[in-house]
Structure 1
Amino acid sequence: MGAQQKTLVILIAAALFTTQSCSPFGRSYRYRMTIEVETLEGLRTGAAVREITYQEALKLADSSGAHVTQQGEAVAVDLPGGRTMFALLESDPYITMQTAFGADSRAILDSAQADMRLAVVKPYPPTIGTDPRAPSNYYHGYPQLVTFEDIKNPSTVKMVDPGHLEKTFGRGVKLRRITVRMTKEAITQEIVKRLPWLEDYQIRQVNLNNTPNSSVASNELADRLGTGYFQILN
């Protein structure tokens, strides 16, 4: 592994928690994602509690499958200089599961929930991704990290390289680790206090460039990101 490559560590520890949905085939899994960032002013952390609901489909004829939904919000980390970094949700809950747990199956969620100890440690090799929508330094296994040049103006959103936070936030700033732990805590709903435009954009269903969600006009980040990357509540 190269010296400049960072390792995303997912620590999956479970507290006893089970929330049954209305269906006997569904179950909800609540977890806390914590981001730790080293700075010259000391360690900075941020966390958010999210929920994945995994509902198995009944087998009809030769078909089977599952329906996955998510609730929660992006993780916000306050950094020196008044800047904030956000670790986003994904529009596809399966990708959110992969980012948090390293897999998108119900089995991995059941395993995390059943284990009462800090038992699973999964380092993610920061291999360079090939997603054409992402920058050339995009790393697999990391959530998307972003910040704003002006947090009051959502169109100023910019991608953050998880392997080189110092390029965006200055000398000495680097990602320490990202951890995931199962929890019984309530889903956090704090991000609206940080993003004054969020509720208005949710109501109007527009992307961060203030255009309708259905009319992505370019490959610019503000065109591609909607409010669901920052908060999803059912």
Structure 2
Amino acid sequence: MARSTFREAGAYLSLLGLLVLAGCTPGYEELPTYRYRLTVELATPQGVRSGSGVIEVHTWQAGPQTIPSPGAIRTREDGEAIVIDLGRQGLVFALMRAGNFMDWPGSVARSLIPSVKGDTYDVRGAEIAAIKAMRGVREVPPTFASGSSQLQNWPDLVRFADRSRPETIRWIGPLPPGRIAPFAVAIRRVTFEIVDAPVTRTINRRLPWLSDAAGETRLPTDLDRAGLDPFIPPLSSFDFTRNVDR
């Protein structure tokens, strides 16, 4: 009997491992997936420059009996930072994050739909239905109200002095009030459009070291090294490309 129990326990653990590897968690329901094209326009001394990319968002919601967090939401974003080519000034990267809002790529669409009211277990499904029903290009507001807080809703910007060397990363913005930007570039507009197109996968050609980065490799910026970064959350390789659960 004990041997049979051990076999059953082993089978359960094996199944659980397979579910985790597949991106599933027992007790979670997968909601519809959607893809969107994010376009970032920059104002530069040479005029407006832009770049775009397609990002895919997967969402799971815990059921009412799930322990310890019934109704909890998990997302997985599949995509990469937006690359804006400034010609002789090099490339600017609009990251897959917005300040402290690390789940921003999976949440930005919610800033473009009316607030959804209702039962906890129905709200996110209704939100995704509204997102998938959007047509045409929408402008993304620079901030997003979440409860009593205003969250940053435009991506962070960085560049590299030498793209082959991650240690040469340079922070562009946003910057705290009163700090002068050393690189005269700022976001002019961000747009969002629901699309049925392949997820963008070009960044490894732009940043050859990225495919070898282990896990969420920490990337100290020039402001980190100067001790000037209390305003800026730490950067990592995860901000450039991701396909993992959050």
TM-score (norm 2): 0.62
- Partners of 1:99 and 1:143 within 8 A in 2: no
For residue 158 of structure 1, report the CA deviation from its aligned partner: 2.4
RMSD: 3.8
% identical equivalent positions: 26
Contact conserved, 2:135 with 2:193, CA < 8 A, in 1?
no
Matched, 1:39 2:44: yes
Contact 2:50 2:85 in 1 (8 A): yes
Aligned residues: 190
Q: Which amino acid aligns with 2:65?
A: L
* Distance in 1 (alpha carbons) for counterparts of 2:165 and 2:188: 28
Indicate the residue corresponding to 1:112 in structure 2.
Answer: 131
Alpha carbons of structure 1 residues 24 and 60: separation in structure 2 relative to 1, 3 Å: closer
Whole-Å Cα distance in 1 between the matches of residues 110 and 83 of structure 2?
Answer: 19
Higher mean alpha-carbon deviation, 71-80 vs 92-101, is at: 92-101
Cα 1:175–1:61 shift into 2, 3 Å: closer
**Cα deviation, residue 45, structure 1:** 1.2
Letter in 2 for 1:64: G
Q: Which residue of 1 aligns with 2:92?
A: 85
1:55 Cα offset (Å): 1.5
Q: Provide TM-score, normalisation by structure 1.
A: 0.65
CA distance in 1, matches of 2:239, 2:63: 30
Give a deviation string over 1:37-59, Cα, whole Å, max 9, x none.
Answer: 23343431111111111122222
Structure 1 position 176 matched with structure 2 position 172? no
Is this contact kept in 1: 2:111–2:141, CA < 8 A? no
Tell me if structure 2 keeps the 8 A contact 1:75–1:87. Answer: yes
Q: Which has the higher helix share?
A: 2
| Bigger radius of gyration among the two | 2
Gap runs ≥5 in structure 2: 1-22, 114-123, 146-150, 221-226
TM superposition shift of 1:207: 2.4
Unaligned runs of at least 5 residues, structure 1: 1-20, 128-138, 210-217
